[in-house]
Amino acid sequence: MNLRFLVDSMHGYVAKWLRIMGYDTVYLNHVEDNDAIKLASDGRILVTSDAELAKTAEARGVQVVLIKGLNEEEALRLLTEKFDLSLREDSLRCTVCNGELEAISLEEAARTIEVIPKGISKFWRCKECGKIYWRGSHWKNISRQISSLTRFKHG
């Protein structure tokens, strides 16, 4: 099942982490409710803390997860448990624009970034915005965060 999300403007943290995990996630920044519902009606799951928007969207057949009253970590854990989310290595996404990432060579990366991080040989580039990614020292923290989210999903 190819889950796709639409996250409202109050939950950038949730959108970023869904993208890090590899899920196609549109982040709404100041969009009217009707436009949000229209965007979600193509099969995206609307994630919001706006009860009125959730009610209207559900009435129009949109799948909604209401995260009202939850902090960002709790909301992410709820989504992880509800949809059995995990890190999708085959579907890496740009945290900035949601574009798909493609593997690039060390040489290609070197043409774009000034200093190649020591010991890094795998790089990805966003097909949309061109941002370059690699798994540096920050990846341990990202992996730990994802692991903590997914560790307890069935218990």
Residue 98 φ/ψ region, left for φ over 0, alpha for ψ in the -120 to 50 degree band, beta for the rest: left
Say what the pLDDT of residue 93 is.
94
pLDDT of residue 155 exceeding 60, the answer is no
Label residue 146 by pLDDT band (50, 70, 90).
confident
Q: CA–CA separation, 5 vs 14, rounded Å?
A: 10
> Counting runs of H as helices and runs of E as strands, what totals does the chain give?
6, 7
For residues 126 and 1, the model is more confident at 126
Mean of pLDDT values over 84-88: 85
Label residue 89 by pLDDT band (50, 70, 90).
confident
Entry pTM = 0.86
For residues 141 and 4, the model is more confident at 4
Label residue 57 by pLDDT band (50, 70, 90).
very high
Domain ranges of the chain: 4-83, 101-151
Say what the pLDDT of residue 130 is.
95
Q: CA–CA separation, 33 vs 43, rounded Å?
A: 16
Helices 33-40, 51-59: crossing angle, 10 deg rounding: 50
Mean of pLDDT values over 51-72: 95
Mean of pLDDT values over 5-11: 92
Q: Which of 138, 108, 142 is nearest to 126 (CA)?
A: 108
CA angle 32, 54, 20 (to 5 degrees): 80
φ, ψ of residue 43 to 5 degrees: the values are 105, 5
> Do residues 14 and 33 touch, judged by C-beta distance below 8 A?
no
Domain 4-83 annotated CATH 1.10.3470: no
pLDDT of residue 2 exceeding 60, the answer is yes
